[in-house]
Structure formats: structure tokens, C-alpha cells
Chain A
Amino acid sequence: MRVGFFPVGEGGVEVRLRPREFEALELVSEILDSVGDVETDPGAARLEINAYSDDEEASAEFRRLMRSEVEQGRAADRSAFTASLQAAEGGQVTLSAAEAEAWLLAVGEARLVLAARLGIKAEGWGEDESEVDPPMALLHYLSWVQGSLSEVLLGQL
């Protein structure tokens, strides 16, 4: 079986992965569920919206106004992502266009949180794939998911 993401129908995506990969993807939800407080969790700090780079007061107001919409959107992405993972059978699941977007956002967010917690602050971290540290290996795997899924979705624009 060819593994990966493949365009199907109207903006849909067929996902074909090995069992170990589905296990890795289950960690995406766990990472997102574990996002804590901005003061103590670099992952939460990375997701914090700072809309005005030189005006903390305006940024705080912007966050306040957007908070519920951001949270609702993120929760919806996460549940759509989790539901489609659970719907997978025999290593395959077909995503609608909306589900594919939810995958992209959930995986992207988990990558940001994970990378922030790993202290990644500069380019070049992705070049050394000999790292066997499990969180880093997961980040590399999620990079592959983000890249492959983006390619498929780009092809459908």
C-alpha cells in the first residue's frame, strides 16, 4: 500500500497510513489538550495572539475579543481531527475538504506547541534527522504530515 495523502473528489483527501502513524497522530490531540498557561507553558505562549507588536494594551484587547472564537475554532478542529482518526479502517480514512483543513490546523498547532516546548527558536532544527529523541522524532513526523497535506491541498486550489 502506498502511504500518504492523496486527492479525492471535491477537495477531499484520502489518508493511507501505517498503524504506528495513526498512533503518532493520536498524540496530536494529547499535545493540544495539554496546552496550559502562558506563564508556564512555552507552547501556550506560542499560540498567544499578539496582534499589535508595539502595543501590549491593544493586543490584550484583541485577544479578549477573539478568545472565544479562537477557542471554539480550535476545539472544533480537534474534535473533527479525532473523529476522523477514529473512523479510520485498515489504515485508511477519507477526509472531506473541511476535515482535511481541520487536520492541517490541528497538526500545525501541535507542531507549534511541541517545537516551543523543545525550545526550537531558530531555523535549521529540521536538518538533523538523526535525532532519536522521541518528541523530536514526532515533530519530524508531523512535519512530513504538514508538508504532504499542504501539497495535496495546494493542488486542489
Chain B
Amino acid sequence: MPDPLYRLKGSVSGLGHRTIPVPHEIPYCWPMTGFPLQAVRSALPTTVDLPEVDEDLTPDRGWNVVVWNDPVNLMTYVVYILRKLFGYNEEKATELMLQVHNNGRAIVATEPLEKAEFECFRLHRHGLWATMEEA
């Protein structure tokens, strides 16, 4: 005798033609209740109310540490500080320094809040203009 559950596959309303994996060993389910398939179909929800998610539960994308252009610190100095504080190689540090110089700002790191605050503090200690913003 063919498994009655087999009929659920591929044709459930609102779910398109995807094959729905149906376990073969569930002892009690609709075939046992005697409801016609159509009754089950019409009772299937087409939309689902998702619970409201508290903002704090969204994944933490971290904080961007931004260095802003200033007309006083020399380019060589900025490159040195970026290399020293973040361990960037010469190419990366130079790229960031030029971004600061040409665009007025550059994201030099993205970190969890506490680490971002620490990096921001260190940049200020080295005389660079730095701020934090949510990534």
C-alpha cells in the first residue's frame, strides 16, 4: 500500500512545487484523522506572523573606526601610526592614508564596540582625528 503521506509531496498550497520532506514513520497525522486533503489545504497558513524582534537581538555588525583628514599631521606620520597601531603593511597603510587625504575620511577598522573605543582612544592619543560609527 502506498504511503498516504506521499501525496503531500510537491503540492501543498502556498509552498509551490517544492518537495517537502515528510517523515515516513509518523504514526498519527492527517491521513489518520480522515480529513480530506482539500480541508488540510485550505487550512494551511499562507502567511506567517513572525514575532517582533527586539533591536538588541540583531547581529552585531560592529563599529567602524573612522580617521578624518587633518591638515597638520604629515602623511608619513599617519602611515607610521596606522602601521604601528593596526599592524597594516606599508601598502594597506598607504592606501588608507591616501583615502583619508583624498576623501576626507577612511574606515581603518571595524570592531566590537569595546575594541573600537580602544582603537579610537589610541588614535587620539597619537593625535589623529578618529570617531566611531555603527557599521
Contacts and interface: CB of A to CB of B under 8 A. Distances in A.
Interface of A: 47, 49-54, 62, 66, 69-70, 73-74, 104-105, 108-109, 111-112, 115, 120-125, 143, 146-147, 150-151, 153-154, 157
Main SS of the interface on chain A?
helix
A120 B117 CA distance: 28
Contacts, number: 78
Given A108-B126, A157-B83, A121 B77 contact: no
A51 B80 contact: no
Contacts of A70: 121, 124-125
Interface in B93-133: 117, 120-121, 124-127, 130-133
B23 interface: no
9 contacts: A51-B132, A52-B133, A111-B72, A124-B71, A146-B74, A151-B76, A153-B80, A154-B80, A157-B84
B76 A49 contact: no
A104 B79 CA distance: 13
Contacts of A154: 76, 79-80, 83, 90
Contact of A51 (B72, B74, B76, B120): B120
B11 interface: no
Contact of A50 (B74, B83, B84, B131): B131
A148 to B, nearest CB: 9
Q: Which of A73, A124, A146 has the most CB of B within 10 A?
A: A146
A108 B80 CA distance: 13
B80 A62 contact: no
B42 interface: no
B80 A150 contact: yes
Nearest to A108: B127
A62 B126 CA distance: 17
Contact of B71 (A47, A109, A122): A122
The 5 lowest CB-CB distance pairs between A and B, nearest first, are A53-B131, A150-B76, A115-B72, A108-B127, A150-B80
Nearest to B93: A154
A108 B131 contact: no
Contacts of B71: 115, 120-125
A95 B76 CA distance: 20
B73 interface: yes
B127 to A, nearest CB: 4
A137 to B, nearest CB: 16
